[in-house]
Amino acid sequence: MSYAMAAGLQAAVYQRLVQDAALSALVGGAIHDAVPPGRVPPLYVTLGPEEVRARGDGSAGGAWHRFTVSVVCESAGFQQAKAVAGAVSDALVNAELSLTRGRVTSLNFLRARARRETGGQARRIDLIFQARVDDGA
């Protein structure tokens, strides 16, 4: 197992989201690697937690990366947040990502959780994806 590909995977996921035209049309530039400081936009996408498990084979190291992409929205209902979450999913599922080290052999959607936050004033959808990375270093 190697965690050496984690930073490259995160950068590639972020770039894929930023460069996706459909997602950008919905949120503009409000795609962040971390929750933005200060007053946050009323609708934004942010990268979240990650869990990694070893999954190498006899010839090379590899890992399963489960990571979260969150959609946060101040609108009264979930419709806008769900539209953005759908665009995030479309942008990432089976995307061909280029890493600085290794390669992504699969990228799939696992599950999502939609909930109210901040006393019911905001909506949040956490999408969980799983990527298999193989180390070709």
Q: Is 80 exceeded by the pLDDT of residue 2?
A: no
Q: Does 24 fall in a domain?
A: yes
For residue 67, give the CATH number of its domain: 3.30.2000
**Look-up of token digits 């999408």:** 127
- What pLDDT shows up at residue 59? 65
**Look-up of token digits 């009323």:** 42
Name the burial class of residue 13, with classes exposed (0-12), middle (13-18) and buried (19+) by CB atoms within 10 angstroms of its CB: buried
- What pLDDT shows up at residue 135? 86
Number of domains observed in the structure of the chain: 1
> pLDDT (tens digit, 9 = 90+) per residue, 47-100?
999 999 987 666 677 899 999 999 999 988 899 999 999 999 999 999 999 999
Q: Does 18 fall in a domain?
A: yes
Where does 55-121 show beta strands of DSSP type E?
62-73, 103-117
Q: Is 70 exceeded by the pLDDT of residue 1?
A: no
Report the C-alpha gap between 99 and 101 in whole angstroms. 5
Q: Does 126 fall in a domain?
A: no
Q: Does 75 fall in a domain?
A: yes
Q: Does 133 fall in a domain?
A: no
Q: Does 136 fall in a domain?
A: no
> pLDDT (tens digit, 9 = 90+) per residue, 96-115?
999 999 999 999 999 999 99
Which residues span the domain enclosing 87?
A: 6-116
Q: Does 135 fall in a domain?
A: no
